[in-house]
Homo-oligomer: A and B are copies of this chain.
Amino acid sequence: MSGTLNKVMLIGHLGDEVKMHYFEGGGCIGRFPIATNETYTNRQTGEKVTNTEWHNIVVRNKAAEICEKYLSKGDKIYVEGRLKTRQWQGEDGNTRYSTEIQVQDFTFLSTKSESMSNAQSNTPQEQRPISGNPGTKPIENTAHVSEPEPEDDLPF
């Protein structure tokens, strides 16, 4: 399918460290929040208002490992992905919703890490060994990674 498009593009700063989860099958997932800002001027009062929006970013497998290795709180990142709203049952029995950005592509726009490898990844295979990708030649402070297309749903 499907004649539809589901795309999100964000540039923002990490509000926290990357939190990793590892699965038995060998896969993993990383999560972190990023903040975007919007500023405008209130027409009545003339005062400037800044709103901060928080986004839940989810990265998988090799991309997650790279993010964990090179990103820290405060770093700036470009993220591209799709919106996914998960739902679950709250303790009170009510359905709760949480909207996430499932990352397909990203580029570091700043990092505090002094040594950053040229971390481009276009490897399409799933669950490939997370190995020699980063680490060798600390060339620059940016990385560009493309995710393979959606795999099976991990239990998230």
Q: State the main secondary structure of chain A at its contact with B.
A: strand
Which of B9, B99, B126 lies in contact with A9, CB distance below 8 A? B9
Number of A residues, CB within 8 Å of B: 61
**What is the copy number of this chain in the assembly?**
4
A115 within 8 A of B: no
- What does the 1/0 interface line of A29-56 toward B look like (CB < 8 Å)? 0000001111110111000101001110
Nearest CB in chain B: distance from A59 CB, A: 17
Q: B-contacting residues of A (Cβ < 8 Å)?
A: 1-13, 35-40, 42-44, 48, 50, 53-55, 76, 78, 82-85, 90, 92, 94, 96-99, 107-109, 118, 120, 122-126, 140-144, 146, 148-152
